[in-house]
């Protein structure tokens, strides 16, 4: 169960230096930084709303749109590209029926692409919910996505 904004802000009001930690907690508990959350954080910490947006936009860990329960990140940096990232991306887009950076209608998956996640020796790399899957192939990616779908249907899936 997500902590409410009140709970997250408890003991941190009027403490502008807590901004990043508070935003991290909101992102973690709510899945994204809503406009309402940003307004509340701004007012509670005494940080101008433009500064909150600046920080939220600067760090890639923060998102201003709701994300899916499961986040799939496909690397399309040079090493991954050379080793077959494009077919992986095409397959994931088709399987999930979304565009890059989008979330499936059922809210289950968000598909992101990045330009290098720092594990080029293991290219092509796919990250699912923070877990790295090296040397990915289209068959393994399909199996991975299907496994998550199956677990969700069976009620055993976790983010």
Q: How far is CA 12 from CA 17, 21, 77, in A?
A: 9, 10, 39
Nearer to ligand FES, 20 or 122 (CB): 122
> What are 72's strand-pairing partners?
111, 128
Nearer to ligand FES, 26 or 141 (CB): 141
3-state secondary structure at position 135: coil
The pattern of x and - marking residues 53 through 92 that bind ligand FES according to CB under 6 A reads: ----------------------x-xxxx------------
Establish if 133 lies at the interface with ligand FES (CB under 6 A): no
Establish if 119 lies at the interface with ligand FES (CB under 6 A): yes
Of 6-14, 38-46, 57-65, 111-119, the segment contacting ligand FES by CB under 6 A is: 111-119
Tokens of 20: 């990043």
Q: Which of 62, 69, 83 is nearest to 126 (CA)?
A: 83
Of 29-37, 114-122, 134-142, 143-151, the segment contacting ligand FES by CB under 6 A is: 114-122
Contact 126, 74 (CB under 8 A): yes
């Amino acid at each position: 169960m997500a902590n409410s904004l009140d709970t997250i802000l408890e003991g941190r009001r009027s403490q502008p230096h807590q901004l990043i930690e508070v935003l991290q907690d909101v992102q973690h508990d709510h899945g994204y930084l809503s406009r309402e959350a940003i307004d509340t954080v701004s007012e509670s910490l005494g940080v101008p709303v433009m500064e909150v947006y600046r920080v939220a936009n600067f760090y890639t860990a923060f998102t201003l749109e709701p994300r899916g329960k499961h986040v799939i990140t496909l690397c399309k940096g040079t090493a991954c590209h050379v080793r077959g990232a494009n077919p992986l991306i095409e397959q994931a887009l088709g399987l999930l029926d979304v565009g890059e950076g989008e979330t499936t209608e059922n809210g289950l998956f968000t598909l992101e692409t990045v330009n290098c996640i720092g594990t080029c020796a293991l290219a092509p790399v796919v990250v699912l919910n923070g877990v790295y899957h090296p040397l990915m192939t289209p068959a393994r990616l399909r199996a991975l996505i299907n496994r998550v779908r199956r677990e969700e249907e069976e009620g055993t899936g976790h983010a």
